[in-house]
Amino acid sequence: MATFVDRAVLHLTAGNGGHGCASVHREKFKPLGGPDGGNGGRGGDIVLRVDPQVTTLLEYHHGPHRTATNGRPGEGGERNGAQGEDLVLGVPDGTVISTRDGEVLADLVGTGAEYVAARGGRGGLGNKALASPRRKAPGFALLGEPGETAEVVLELKTLADVALVGFPSAGKSSLVSVVSAAKPKIADYPFTTLVPNLGVVTAGGNRFTIADVPGLIPGASQGKGLGLEFLRHVERCHVLVHVIDCATLEPGRDPLTDLDVIEHELAEYVPDASLGGIPLADRVRVVVLNKADVPEARELAEMVRPDLEERGLEVHIVSAVAHLGLKELTYALAGHVQRARDEQIEIEPPRVVLRPKAVDDAGFHVRRENTPDGEVFRVLGDRPTRWVRQTDFGNDEAVGYLADRLNRLGVEDGLLKAGAVAGSTVLIGPEEDAVVFDWEPTVASGAELLGQRGTDLRLEDRHRPTREEKRAAFKDKMDAKTAAREELAADRRAGLWTDQD
């Protein structure tokens, strides 16, 4: 059973970021030399890049699971962990990358065109980098983030100007072999060609590419023979050439019937509209009557030629084996290709579609949800989610740092506005894998904070001082100062120390 390798589904896992390191500098006589834990390295990305050496997706068909290397953890002595290596996967020119749902992510055309399919996780900061005037010696570090995972579909769409279609053994590969330098496999059994062979043709100063296509048979559109799967290869061609075997002795076959059969199958094939393809039915058609070196075949070809021309088709009688009529054919094809190029019919505008980034990188929002376990408040947003992933929940200081970060972003206010009260259940993080908190508000931002009257501890110690109290406090302070001054004066009088001047 032939296996197609012009479509592959990849399961990608980018590298995890390395964890940051929490370490304290130690030296003789300097027991507390300050934090010196290095940062974790970034995890490797997974990049798909057009490589001219790669012509099929075979490799990915056999090995669909790919993983980039992880970043290394940071170490003491301010040593940062090494970055994970990016994994670059070579793909053939004309590879279209899409999601499982068929959304096109990128259309890679031209050597070197690339697409980052999965991003490596960021490395966690070490305690050296987390130190600040307020937090001089953090006893924690941030965790590295996991690498992205992605499932992408690769499809190969050969970039040929001219595509040869026809029954098996009509001589398509033979034709490619005699008009170009390509050397495809040729044999007298059907379905010799399993993936298209691409050749470059030079004719009268013009160059164009030509590709044969695996043989089509009646019912191909329902999956008979090799089916129509590979027709995606010809979606980008300007000219379709029917190669017709005039020497076949198979019952029920003759040039006109063969042409109708292939046209019917082509009509059943629906090109990928998302790529802006012109329907195959609207492409320029040329008919090649092959094997004219066989006398009966030549006779038959001459006989059906007027019928075909009457249908408005351009007809060439050739022999791939005896090299008959090839020059006229290649010049005619070059002319069609040139006209298409002149009219700038872009069948597939080369483009790279970048995946839209999550909408609110900077912000967050709070969603109130009712679950079987009661009401919860979900904090959604890139940054809160990332911060939670970076937190080592076994370390109180790290958790405190997380609380500070969330607070500065305004998450507490957001929760208040959404109706959260002390003790509410708050979820932060990825939908499936969120971290659950019992909320303890830390900010005093007004009356909303007070749950039931009289139960809030802050009523006692956080109320605003009255003028009376302020005056009393001021007097206390001044009294203390006076006392201190008097003490100094007493010392001076006692001759304990002298003035500088």
Ligand X SMILES: Nc1nc2c(ncn2[C@@H]2O[C@H](COP(=O)(O)OP(=O)(O)OP(=O)(O)O)[C@@H](O)[C@H]2O)c(=O)[nH]1
Q: Which residues are annotated as a binding site for GTP?
A: 166-173, 191-195, 212-215, 290-293, 319-321
Report the nearest approach of Mg ion to the CB of residue 347 (Å).
Answer: 24
The Cα-based distances of 270 to 191, 229, 235, 238, 458 in angstroms read: 23, 11, 10, 16, 70
Q: Which residue, 83 or 319, is less far from ligand X as judged by CB? A: 319
Q: Which H/E stretch holds residue 384? A: helix 382-389
- b/e map 195-224, b = 16+ CB within 10 Å: bbbbbebebeebebbbbbbbbbbbebbeee
Supply angle C-alpha 444, 447, 448, rounded to 5: 85
When CB distances are held under 5 to 8 angstroms depending on the partner's kind, the choice from ligand X, Mg ion, none that residue 325 binds is none
- Beta-carbon neighbour count of residue 139 at 10 Å? 15
Q: Which residue, 81 or 184, is less far from ligand X as judged by CB? A: 184
Which residues are documented as binding site? 166-173, 191-195, 212-215, 290-293, 319-321
Q: Which residue, 39 or 173, is less far from Mg ion as judged by CB? A: 173
Helices (H), 109-233: 127-130, 172-179
Which position has the token pair 């020059």?
327
Q: Which residue, 192 or 330, is less far from Mg ion as judged by CB? A: 192
Phi and psi at residue 171, in whole multiples of 5°? 105, 25
Q: Which residue, 80 or 193, is less far from Mg ion as judged by CB? A: 193
Contact 443/411 with Cβ under 8 angstroms? no
When CB distances are held under 5 to 8 angstroms depending on the partner's kind, the choice from Mg ion, ligand X, none that residue 104 binds is none
- Beta-carbon neighbour count of residue 287 at 10 Å? 22
Q: List Cβ<8 Å contacts ≥24 apart for 183-192.
A: 184/212, 190/215, 190/225, 191/2, 191/215, 191/225, 191/226, 192/168
Among 70, 158, 177, 192, which residue sits at the site for Mg ion (rule: CB under 5 A)? 192
Q: Which residue, 127 or 169, is less far from Mg ion as judged by CB? A: 169
Instruction: Please count the residues of this chain forming the interface with Mg ion, following the rule CB under 5 A.
Output: 3
Distance, in Å, from the CA atom of 286 to the CA atom of 297, rounded to the nearest integer, reads: 19
83 binds Mg ion (CB under 5 A): no
When CB distances are held under 5 to 8 angstroms depending on the partner's kind, the choice from Mg ion, ligand X, none that residue 320 binds is ligand X
Distance, in Å, from the CA atom of 36 to the CA atom of 434, rounded to the nearest integer, reads: 31
Contact 98/109 with Cβ under 8 angstroms? no
Interface stretch with Mg ion, choices 69-77, 186-194, 336-344, 446-454 (CB under 5 A): 186-194
Which residues are documented as binding site for Mg(2+)? 173, 193
Residues 6+ away with beta carbon under 8 Å from 339: none
**What is the side-by-side order of every strand in the sheet holding 239-245?**
198-203, 206-212, 162-165, 239-245, 284-290, 314-317
Query: What are the start-end ranges of the E strands in 148-299?
Result: 149-156, 162-165, 198-203, 206-212, 239-245, 284-290
173 binds Mg ion (CB under 5 A): yes
Q: Which residue, 13 or 173, is less far from Mg ion as judged by CB? A: 173
Query: Residues in the site for ligand X, rule: CB under 6 A?
Result: 166, 168-174, 186-188, 190-193, 212, 214-215, 247, 290-291, 293-294, 319-321
When CB distances are held under 5 to 8 angstroms depending on the partner's kind, the choice from Mg ion, ligand X, none that residue 209 binds is none
Report the nearest approach of ligand X to the CB of residue 197 (Å).
Answer: 8
Q: Which residue, 139 or 168, is less far from ligand X as judged by CB? A: 168
- b/e map 441-456, b = 16+ CB within 10 Å: beeeeeeebeeeeeee
Report the nearest approach of Mg ion to the CB of residue 243 (Å).
Answer: 10
Report the nearest approach of ligand X to the CB of residue 265 (Å).
Answer: 13
Interface stretch with Mg ion, choices 193-201, 340-348, 350-358, 417-425 (CB under 5 A): 193-201
Distance, in Å, from the CA atom of 163 to the CA atom of 228, rounded to the nearest integer, reads: 14
Report the nearest approach of ligand X to the CB of residue 6 (Å).
Answer: 15
Cβ neighbourhood burial of 39 (10 Å; 0-12, 13-18, 19+)? buried
Report the nearest approach of ligand X to the CB of residue 85 (Å).
Answer: 41
Among 67, 69, 158, 193, which residue sits at the site for Mg ion (rule: CB under 5 A)? 193
Report the nearest approach of ligand X to the CB of residue 211 (Å).
Answer: 11
Report the nearest approach of ligand X to the CB of residue 214 (Å).
Answer: 6
Which tokens go with 449?
A: 């904070």
391 binds Mg ion (CB under 5 A): no
When CB distances are held under 5 to 8 angstroms depending on the partner's kind, the choice from ligand X, Mg ion, none that residue 174 binds is ligand X
Report the nearest approach of Mg ion to the CB of residue 56 (Å).
Answer: 16
Q: Which residue, 182 or 415, is less far from Mg ion as judged by CB? A: 182
When CB distances are held under 5 to 8 angstroms depending on the partner's kind, the choice from Mg ion, ligand X, none that residue 171 binds is ligand X
Q: Which residues bind Mg ion (CB under 5 A)?
A: 173, 192-193
